[in-house]
């Protein structure tokens, strides 16, 4: 018996980067897909929001002089590329999926419609939510918080490459403290870089808990879905 009926998994684009410096690593995409499949096999309904930072980072482009709206729109398209790649790998593993986007790309994916997304989940399909919110200036973290609230996900599982939320960057600060549990307000007050303030506020306002965990450790996603104490709980 797992503690959740419906989860939303937030994946960064970097989760699909593997050992590359840019783009999609198919071995990484396959490994992540297998982890998602193991979670699905536990009987939970799984929705995904995927970023696009392995292909294009809008904020980085704006620092080099690109118009913010144009940069964010390119980043939105990058999330769609990652979503289609995950769909391919998941379906090769035998899972039924739907890619739903916040922008119109009818030849490739369904438009995001809340009731339809919920129906796909109820029918046992893995729903991959691409294109963020469909608007510039909003991160895929904010999209994850928004979609979780809309579809009634019980929790957001934020996959990272570290073991949870630290008091400082553990790579730069060896004495950084790993938090076991935080409140949403503490995340905002301490300015901890779990997700941006808009996303954290949205989760707080809608009482959506977040678990930040390390996806690089094999089997961690399955353990989190089973209720094991992995990573940092924000609630």
Domains identified in the chain and CATH numbers: 6-234 (3.40.1160.10)
Round the average pLDDT of the chain to a whole number and report it: 95
**Rounded Cα distance, 178 and 173, in Å:** 12
Do the strands 181-182 and 110-111 form a parallel or antiparallel pair, or are they unpaired? unpaired
231 sits in the region (left: phi over 0; alpha: psi -120 to 50; else beta) called left
Q: What is the pLDDT of residues 6-45, one digit of tens each?
A: 999 999 999 999 889 899 999 999 999 999 999 999 999 9
The pLDDT assigned to 131 comes to 98
Whether residue 122 has pLDDT greater than 80:
yes
Which residues on adjacent β-strands are paired with residue 110?
100
Contact between residue 203 and residue 234 where contact means Cβ atoms under 8 Å apart: yes
Q: What is the pLDDT of residues 170-179, one digit of tens each?
A: 888 889 999 9
Contact between residue 161 and residue 17 where contact means Cβ atoms under 8 Å apart: no
């Amino acid at each position: 018996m797992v503690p959740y009926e419906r989860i939303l998994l937030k994946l960064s684009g970097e989760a699909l980067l593997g050992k590359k410096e840019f783009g999609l690593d198919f071995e990484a995409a396959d490994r992540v897909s297998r982890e998602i499949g193991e979670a699905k096999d536990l009987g939970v309904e799984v929705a995904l929001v995927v970023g696009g930072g392995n292909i294009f980072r809008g904020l980085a482009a704006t620092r080099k002089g690109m118009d913010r709206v144009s940069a964010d729109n390119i980043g939105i398209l990058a999330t769609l590329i990652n979503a289609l790649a995950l769909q391919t790998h998941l379906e090769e593993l035998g899972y039924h999926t739907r890619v739903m986007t916040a922008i119109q790309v009818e030849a490739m994916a369904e438009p995001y419609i809340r009731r339809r997304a919920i129906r796909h989940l109820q029918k046992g399909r893995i729903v991959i939510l691409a294109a963020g919110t469909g608007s510039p200036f909003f991160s895929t973290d904010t999209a994850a918080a928004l979609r979780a609230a809309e579809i009634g996900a019980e929790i957001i599982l934020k996959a990272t490459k570290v073991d949870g939320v630290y008091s400082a960057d553990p790579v730069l600060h060896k004495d950084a403290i790993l938090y076991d549990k935080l409140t949403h307000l503490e995340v905002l007050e301490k300015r901890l870089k779990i997700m941006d303030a808009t996303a954290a506020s949205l989760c707080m306002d809608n009482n959506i808990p977040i678990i930040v965990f390390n996806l690089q450790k094999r089997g961690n996603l399955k353990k989190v879905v089973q209720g094991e104490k992995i990573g940092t709980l924000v609630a």
